[in-house]
Chains A and B, each alone.
Chain A
Amino acid sequence: MLVANRGEIARRVFRSCRALGLSTVAVHSDADADLPHVREADAAIRLPGNTPAETYLRPELIIEAARAAGADAVHPGYGFLAENAEFARAVVDAGLTWIGPSPEAIAAMGSKVRAKRLMAEADVPVLPELDPASVTADDLPVLVKASAGGGGRGMRVVSDLSALPDAIAAAQAEAGSAFGDSTVFCEHYLTSGRHIEVQILADRHGTVWAVGERECSIQRRHQKVVEEAPSPLVDAVLRAELFEAARAAAKAIGYVGAGTVEFLAAERDGRVEFFFLEMNTRLQVEHPVTEATTGLDLVAWQLRIARGERLPAEPPATRGHAIEVRLYAEDPAKDWQPQSGTLHRLSVPDAVEFTNPGEAGLRLDSGFAGGERIGVHYDPMIAKLVAVAPTRHEAATRLAGALARAQIHGVTTNRDLLVRVLRHPAFLAGETDTAFFTKHDLATLATPLAGPEVRDLSALAAALADAAENRRAARVLGRLPSGWRTVPSQPQRKVYTDGERDIEVTYRWGRHGLTDLPEWAAGRGVEAVSAEPHRVVLIVDGVRRTFSVARYPDGLVCVDSPLGSVSLRRRPRFAEPEHAAPHGSLLAPMPGSVLRVAVAVGERVKAGQPLLWLEAMKMEHQISAPGDGVVTELHVAPGEQVDVGTTLAVVQEDEQGGTDA
């Protein structure tokens, strides 16, 4: 089995393959060469390059890889080529087994415009399609959608008629670059609908199961963040209707394999209406919640169905409740900006990997094991974490607790936001809808779990752990008391950077414990019970608190405690003068690639004049001159990848325009 994908979904498919005794083949881009999915596969084939267009989106390379490795089946995972009918056909034509529905079924659902018509004919409720040219003010707001593809790409909400032409153009451009098909259409936009989908399994012998529904209403940028099964909105009557509609949809196109029929549900006049959105002719990201509530291995069933096996007459009964969250490398507080960096550690206590945890427990599906770089080329999802429990409330609290206790070191993630969502009264009450982040103040939800006081304490713990590590690593006198002085004159000092803020910690190990602490710590009666390089136990306000401390290159110090996780950066004792960024340096605000450069060294520029453009996650960011002056340095060229903080260019500002920033 060759999996034409990367990361967690490749690992997920491999897990079922191994269970069924199949050998596995991975493909990988250059950037992904060291990922666990490559390490775990029995064989791996390199796809030269890094961008999806060069690698995972190249059908011919993948079929060639399958031949080279001796694979006789191809699983597409999700995304990339998973819903590419031509690829499916090429796989079949190459004499390989395609794990998925027929190319015709994919094509039928691939065009959303066509799919909607098909569904309407099969009596599946649909939202009427609007002709972009004849949208009126009464139709607003409308959603502009790419006919091909999914995952929120090429989607635009328009609530002002004058913005429509631009939105259509932008959606067309985005769809064209992402899916190679720039067709877009419009439909009425339900501002606060509920996203409910039904998992389908269909064999080649006419049995079509509606296995269970999932609700995935909590989304950001039209991408799902929290998914669960069953839906808190759906009662037995509605469930029967949904299942019937989903089976009708599948049957209408002779669907075989695993697929998902997505609906948009909304309450109107006291009853719930639902409309067909689209059918995903592949495995979904959120399939684990269905596995958790049914006990099925959906991937194993995909493989069995491909082998021609029969489904039993009835699907298994569902039990309990499962909730999944998607852990993204992104900063929700900064407009969900994707983050890159090295994921030094990813550890969720008590979670089993890629395996149903039974009636209660945690499941972790991740493409990373810790130590890998999270790059800018692919989706920033790090992992999916699923909690299963007898009730929804328990699943939510268990998941929130596990996330809060997880150790995620090296990249900024949406973890704290997820915890806040899972603990939010509206979420716990089942009031989830697609506008969750608008209704419940994103700024509050994006606030870190660890407040300023916890961050200060974490910095103190980091300092004491660093001190213990310094003693441990000392070449001489390592076992003498830490910072011992015959004549004490001042405390030890360590400074940690916490985002924009510096936290200075002072301390001295006196004969009877800590002294010379910063005022805020002395005021809280902070005492040290023990301080080891990776574990510090403090008494704060009479309460014993344990902090776990990990340190990584570049001064990164990660402090985890039940009070919240804090990522700090140790400020070096000495600034290397040559490393200080020259005045007027323009630093990359986010990881990305340089699109264009508009200036040359020596050129005079005016304040605000665009100098160069970065592309990050398909969005363009303009870098402009901070003031009038001359470009004295230019460090990047088009096509170059840059990390956050990379110096892009230096503008020597004119004297009177100079600032001290």
Chain B
Amino acid sequence: MTVLTTRVDTRSDEFAANRDAMLAKLDELAAEHAKAVAGGGEKYVERHRKRGKLLARERIELLVDEDSPFLELSPLAAWGTDFAVGASIVTGIGVVEGVECMIIASDPTVKGGTSNPYTLRKSFRAADIAAQNNLPTINLVESGGADLPTQKDIFIPGGRIFRDLTRASAERRPTVALVFGNSTAGGAYLPGMSDYVVMVKERAKVFLGGPPLVKMATGEEADDESLGGADMHARQSGLADYLAVDEQDAIRLGRRIIARLNWRKQGPAPKPDYAEPLADPEDLLGIVPTDLKVPFDPREVIARVVDGSEFDEFKPLYGTSLVTGWADVHGYPVGILANAQGVLFSEESQKAAQFIQLANQTDTPLIFLHNTTGYMVGSKYEQGGIIKHGAQMINAVSNSKVPHISILMGASYGAGHYGMCGRAYDPRFLFAWPSAKSAVMGAQQLAGVLSLVARAAAESRGTPYDEDQDAAMRAMVEQQIEAESMPMFLSGLLYDDGIIDPRDTRTVLGMCLSVIHNAPVKGADGFGVFRM
């Protein structure tokens, strides 16, 4: 057992500058989160309330256990697009009657809670998390259906929503629909495919076709209530299992349904007693340098995240640009891979591959702390087999079966993003710090590469190279790539599960690990560990 000691000088100017920069980014983040919380804006919120209805987040707050934590997912979905920040839906993991559940609530104040392509991506991501981590799902339904102008992007892929629901049921992951309002046409299959359905009296409306459509199709004149009222579904069609007298009652019934699921987590329980980190998590604000080219020691982060700041480092003298080792987070054992000097060399790659295999031998979840500029380039390294060695690391991470969680602290560039279990490598969760940046390479390098290529092309054509145009091109590209590397932009595209305050890292990891343990935690088998 090794207790990490800290070398961070919290009184240094550098620390203060780092901290100020991080706090400024957190302020910007809070402003963007506020947009998601504001939903459709004051006017629509007011109208919704006047109807005696609760807002999406109020429904969630009432649904989850009092004083329990709630991990909201993808809050900045659709950031940087024409759609509202948050994508007219709230998703997250909350505790209901002691059971960790995926909660999905449409936000009726944003265009009537209609779905756009980002709504869909956010729903899919929530469904994936529920599936991978074996979570019951509770849908808080009140949606006008598809955002019709975007139907081409959602109609065909959107079918997955209903497929996922019934597959969840097949995998014995319960699904509950609490219907607060409209859930019509295709949306009718949301309750239709759920295990348990609660409808709010005189509010829920669930039908395939509303009065005008029915009139057009068959000439029948029917009203909302007889076509799809909650009372009708509870007494006649049987689509509703429970009739709630109001919204509060629907949420109460939803909680009772979860309480009776006899839910048992399949992963091992955490250690009951553990110590908080010895080093102050508050310092995490000042550890990441404002310039990502300056590396920082990830042990300073680990010391502020793991139980008792205890970290048993593996291969500390080999491949020192990648720190690997064992620790506990909120009582759960984990293996940690953290970039130390940015660049991944052959040694680091092989060390990572070996460490990942070891974690699989012991069914230990892995945490990846990203701050990498990618695998080393250059003839010496190519000749040394950097591609092979990087491939070993990517192979190990791809075929590892233990749960992975990625935290993007700083840079996450190039194939290093892949090797460190980037989004495409299906980590169970991926969160970014506001200081993170992710792209095929740094903006400056990318602009520089483009410039070199253009210059070479001009030379081969024998035409003079326009230096002014080159400078303009480089500036423009640099600016574009820089913007597209920013965490909010990537969060908007659902490439992460959210941007978090670095000080929350331990809490986020603790929650994710607990959630992960709803499913069995089992490493890959079939081979012994390759010593590399």
Contact = CB atoms under 8 A, between A and B. Distances in A.
B313 interface: no
B507 A487 contact: no
B66 A494 contact: yes
Contacts of B514: 476-477
Contacts of B498: 486
Contact of A475 (B67, B69, B98): B98
Contacts of A401: none
A490 interface: yes
Interface stretch (B176-184, B248-256, B361-369, B481-489): B248-256
B511 A480 contact: yes
B61 interface: yes
23 contacts: A470-B67, A474-B98, A477-B68, A477-B69, A477-B95, A477-B100, A477-B511, A479-B274, A479-B510, A480-B511, A481-B69, A483-B69, A484-B70, A484-B504, A486-B75, A486-B500, A486-B504, A487-B37, A490-B61, A492-B66, A575-B248, A576-B252, A577-B245
Given A486-B71, A487-B36, A479 B252 contact: no
A511 interface: yes
B70 A474 contact: no
A471 interface: yes
Nearest to A580: B245
A486 B330 CA distance: 18
Contacts of B245: 577
Contacts of A470: 65-68
Given A486-B72, A486-B508, A487-B72, A573 B67 contact: no
B69 A484 contact: yes
Nearest to A481: B507
Contacts of A575: 248-249
B111 interface: no
Contacts of B511: 477, 480
Contacts of A477: 68-69, 95, 100, 510-511, 514
Contacts of B48: none
Interface string B53-65: 0000110011001
A480 B255 CA distance: 21
A480 B67 contact: no
Interface in A559-583: 573-577
Contacts of B36: 487
Nearest to B92: A486
B248 A574 contact: yes
> Would you call the interface of chain A mostly helix, strand, loop, or mixed?
loop
A467 interface: yes
A483 B75 contact: no
B423 interface: no
B68 A487 contact: no
A494 B514 CA distance: 27
Nearest to B37: A489
A471 B67 contact: yes
Nearest to B269: A476
Interface string A504-532: 00000001000000000000000000000
Contacts of A467: 66-67
Interface in B496-525: 498, 500, 503-504, 507-508, 510-511, 514
B125 interface: no
Interface in B237-274: 245, 248-249, 251-252, 255, 265, 274
Nearest to B58: A490
B104 to A, nearest CB: 15
A486 B434 CA distance: 13
Contact of B510 (A480, A482, A490, A494): A480
B455 interface: no
A117 interface: no
A475 to B, nearest CB: 4
B25 interface: no
A485 interface: yes
A575 to B, nearest CB: 7
A470 B507 CA distance: 18
